[in-house]
């Protein structure tokens, strides 16, 4: 066990996968000698050779299309889309072919491939570099979608994703690349499709994922000053969704708030709210609320603090959860 950053944990996962399985190949824009924009693939080409980790032309649709062919041929490609919005030129490949090939061939062919996408904001980037695009992928049947909130999960989820027989969209929260914790490489954590309770509490459940997990935990700590005992659930897997863990938490606390960076309208949180409301209706003491990004294109760096959910916005939302059983006022 050693203390490493999330970027280093991802690098370790890729290295171990390449070492353990000759079928694993890593490719994408600048992932070779440079080691990627965020250095996640640092040193892998030097240590394992250009046959295992190599650069591609700047053509995302070509990268994913090539990976489809490689996966059909028995390899396990791991490709990087350099930034979240850079993946959009490959979206047709992902939705029409990656997600559907198993169904199209009635199970004769599967695509064991991972598409790594650094996503979300918090790094002082601009539009095309800070999108939260998870809803596009979770809405597409045939894709597994996961996102780590901690360095340990970065290692475990990436190893599990590479081992999966089906395609995985692996969303890496850029603003957490430099967060550190002690990481074990034993792979004995929660299963890939399970959520986990990061902090136990009895008054309200904060449901978060990816970059917002740390923010939710910080909010839970700050909530003690207001007299609230807050539970934090890290979804980890966005599709498939772990109803069991999430609803068990909400039934215990009776209140819930969903937190994510993406825009609120049509966002992933709306699906979470719907599922929780349908399954926990009789245990809820207040409507399930959301804290999200604004319904605007991603703002310039000096303004992004207004876009991102923070502790104050989360605690303000928790305060609206009818703690005195007051009636809901329309438009309030």
Residue 332 has pLDDT above 70, yes or no: no
Residue with tokens 């978060």, as numbered in its chain: 208
What is the per-residue pLDDT for 63? 98
The pLDDT of residue 126 = 85
Phi, psi of 214 (to 5 degrees): -65, -40
Please write the tens of the pLDDT for every residue from 20-69: 999 999 999 999 999 999 999 999 999 999 999 999 999 999 999 999 99
Q: What Rg value do the Cα atoms of the chain yield, rounded?
A: 20
Residue corresponding to tokens 């772990």? 242
Give me the mean pLDDT over the 107-136 stretch: 95
129 annotated active-site = yes
Band (121; pLDDT cuts 50, 70, 90): very high
Question: For residue 235, which of 315, 134, 141 has the smallest C-alpha distance?
Answer: 134
Summary mean pLDDT of the chain = 96
DSSP string, 270-314: HHHHHHHHHHHGGG-SS--EEEEE-SSSPPPGGGHHHHS--HHHH
Span 6-10, average pLDDT: 98
- In contact, 169 and 80? CB cutoff 8 Å: no
pLDDT tens figures, 168-221 = 999 999 999 999 999 999 988 899 999 999 999 999 999 999 999 999 999 999
Catalytic residue among 129, 282, 285, 306: 129
Alpha-carbon dihedral angle through residues 60, 66, 68, 72, given to the nearest 10 degrees? -170
Output DSSP code: residue 18: H
Average pLDDT of the segment spanning 9-30: 98
**Predicted local distance difference test score (pLDDT) of residue 324:** 80
| pTM assigned to the model | 0.95
């Amino acid at each position: 066990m050693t203390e490493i950053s999330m970027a280093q944990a991802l690098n370790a996962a890729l290295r171990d996968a390449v070492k353990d399985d000759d079928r694993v190949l890593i490719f994408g824009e600048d992932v070779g000698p440079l080691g990627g924009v965020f250095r996640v693939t640092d040193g892998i080409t030097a240590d394992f050779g250009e046959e295992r980790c190599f650069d591609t032309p700047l053509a995302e649709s070509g990268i994913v299309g090539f990976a489809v062919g490689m996966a059909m041929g028995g390899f396990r490609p791991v490709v990087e889309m350099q930034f979240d919005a850079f993946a959009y030129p490959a979206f047709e490949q992902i939705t029409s072919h990656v997600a559907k090939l198993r169904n199209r061939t009635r199970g004769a062919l599967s695509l064991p491939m991972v598409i790594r996408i650094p996503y979300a904001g918090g790094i002082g980037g601009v539009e095309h570099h800070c999108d939260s695009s998870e809803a596009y992928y979770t809405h597409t049947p045939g894709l597994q979608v996961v996102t780590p909130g901690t360095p340990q999960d970065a290692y475990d989820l990436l190893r599990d994703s590479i081992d999966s027989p089906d395609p995985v969209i692996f969303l890496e929260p850029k603003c957490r690349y430099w967060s550190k914790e002690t990481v074990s490489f034993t792979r004995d954590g929660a299963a890939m499709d399970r959520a986990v309770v990061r902090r136990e509490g009895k008054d309200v459940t904060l449901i978060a994922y990816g970059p917002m997990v740390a923010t939710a935990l910080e909010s839970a700590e700050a909530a003690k000053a207001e007299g609230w005992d807050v539970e934090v659930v890290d979804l980890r897997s966005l599709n498939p969704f772990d109803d069991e863990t999430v609803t068990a938490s909400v039934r215990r606390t009776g209140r819930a708030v969903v937190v994510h960076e993406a825009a609120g309208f049509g966002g992933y949180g709306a699906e979470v709210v719907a599922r929780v409301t349908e399954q926990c209706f009789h245990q809820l003491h207040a409507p399930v609320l959301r804290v999200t990004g604004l319904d605007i294109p991603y703002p310039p760096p000096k303004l992004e603090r207004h876009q991102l959910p923070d502790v104050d916005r989360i605690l303000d939302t928790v305060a609206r959860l009818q703690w005195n059983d007051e009636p809901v006022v329309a438009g309030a």
